[in-house]
Chains A and B, each alone.
Chain A
Amino acid sequence: MNSYNLSVNGTEYPVSAAAERNLLSVLREEIGLTGTKQGCDDCECGACMVLIDGQPVNSCSYLAVQAQGRPVTTVEGVTTNGELHPLQKNLLEAGGVQCGFCTPGMIMSALAIEKASDGTEPSDEEIRIGLSGNLCRCTGYAKILDAVKKTLSK
């Protein structure tokens, strides 16, 4: 067992878990933040995407113990005082949420694109590359892209 603190969405959580536990399971089962989803559990689908130090990471394939001292952001951390993030509103308006399972991961990848583009408007290709690690089993990509483009347009 390892005991350490994780900083998730600005809150410090004490964690006591085996070293082999992945970040996804610690977020969901120890901390109780279940917005981040387990899909393939194999680094392929992006449902488990979180931001670590502002960068997108598949939390299924990242050891929780390695996240100590590194700020983690999950989908629960993107709202402000219960108000949906503009991207979340745009996803709802565009019909970019079907079953919703990929949505938290898509949101985190899209926010990473926003951060990487550093105030400039990302190109369609940059958005596609930024979302390329996220699968939508409903295949609703066009509307997801619409919502992300609308959110990141300047």
Chain B
Amino acid sequence: MIIAETLEQALEALAAGARPIAGGSDLVVAHRSGKAPLPAQLVAIDRLEELSSIEQGEDGVRIGAVVNHARLVTHPLIIDTYPSLADAAALVGSPATRNVGTIGGNVMNGSPAMDTGAPLVVLGAKVALQSTNGYREIDVADLWTGPGVTSAEPDELCVALSIPTPQASTSSAYVRLEYRRAMEIAVVGAACSVTLSEGVVSAINIALTAVAPTIVAVDGLEGAIGQPPQDVEALVQSVASEQASPISDLRAGAEYRRQMVGVMAKRSFAAAVARAQGEAIAVPVNRSIGIGA
């Protein structure tokens, strides 16, 4: 175990074959359950100051990779401007999980049931990847290629997530179906970002959680543009359900998931619209308007 003191040291360790660990909440659990042994060489990145800040710039916010969920839930900028991300972070695990689990870890773990994924997609986030060979930013939707698989090279470290500043009259929300209020994983979930202009929808993005091998960015929502929000709910629900390709497992059957993800999409849309209209809906939406457990 190398405890990196500088980013350079961490990148050199990755180039030499080590794997990064931040809080370890995915890696250590997977190791102890026998699902995946810990990598032979680890480099701890959780003490790197360079990766631990939330910085507001002219174009948007840059969230360091080791910012934990607890900080996202309590950060005024995230709550006010990117509330879907705060909705999602607030639902992750328990207080202990939110303390050690980082946004970079959540993104790079690549679970299709990850809560922060759908919000990051609808918010247009880019993931910043750095190695000793260079630096690049890619759309977060292009990062995930399968369950637990990313397009990042083994020597690339996720150093930050960048989210652009939304247009005026824009807001977002994330909701999920859950069977209990803590230590839960999304049965299905949906995030929506919506922009209103003179009472009609002028932009809309929806992404779905836990209904496909990766987070699904929903397309085919052009019919919503120019329509009053109340006339769009049925379209949002049906398009979201159609684009789900869920599996059946212990937690839910495929058909149930398909039906419910449409409902979650509709509710995330309604909450995002209400927020865009200036209504205060506290984080997380699940608790504020009674979705889930």
Contacts and interface: CB of A to CB of B under 8 A. Distances in A.
Given A20-B38, A42-B33, A133-B97, A62 B1 contact: no
A76 interface: no
A55 B99 contact: yes
A63 B100 CA distance: 11
A115 B257 CA distance: 40
Given A43-B97, A46-B96, A66 B24 contact: yes
Contacts of A63: 1, 21, 24, 28
B95 A56 contact: yes
Contacts of B29: 42-43, 61
A108 to B, nearest CB: 9
A140 to B, nearest CB: 17
Interface string A26-68: 0000000000000001111010010000011110111101101
B96 A58 contact: yes
A104 interface: no
A97 B158 CA distance: 44
Contacts of B3: 65-66, 68
Nearest to B287: A125
A16 interface: no
Contacts of A8: none
Interface string B1-33: 101000000000000000001011100110111
Mostly, the A contact residues are: mixed
A109 interface: yes
Interface residues of B, number: 26
Contacts of B70: 55
Contacts of A60: 28, 32
A73 B178 CA distance: 33
Given A57-B100, A62-B24, A63-B1, A133 B94 contact: yes
Contacts of B183: 43-44, 132-133
A65 B95 CA distance: 22
Q: Which of A44, A112, A133 has the most CB of B within 10 A?
A: A133
A63 B44 CA distance: 10
A42 B95 contact: no
Given A20-B31, A42-B33, A62 B100 contact: yes
Contacts of B31: 20
Contacts of A66: 1, 3, 21, 24, 44, 46
B226 interface: no
A138 interface: no
Interface in B206-230: none
Contacts of A68: 3
Interface string A58-94: 1011110110100000000000000000000000000
Given A61-B25, A112-B95, 13 more contacts: A22-B32, A42-B33, A43-B25, A56-B99, A60-B28, A60-B32, A61-B100, A62-B28, A130-B95, A132-B94, A132-B183, A133-B182, A133-B183
Q: Which 10 A-B pairs have the closest CB atoms?
A: A133-B94, A132-B182, A19-B1, A56-B96, A61-B28, A55-B99, A58-B96, A65-B1, A133-B96, A20-B38
13 contacts: A19-B1, A20-B38, A42-B29, A49-B96, A56-B96, A56-B99, A57-B96, A61-B24, A63-B24, A65-B1, A132-B94, A132-B95, A132-B183
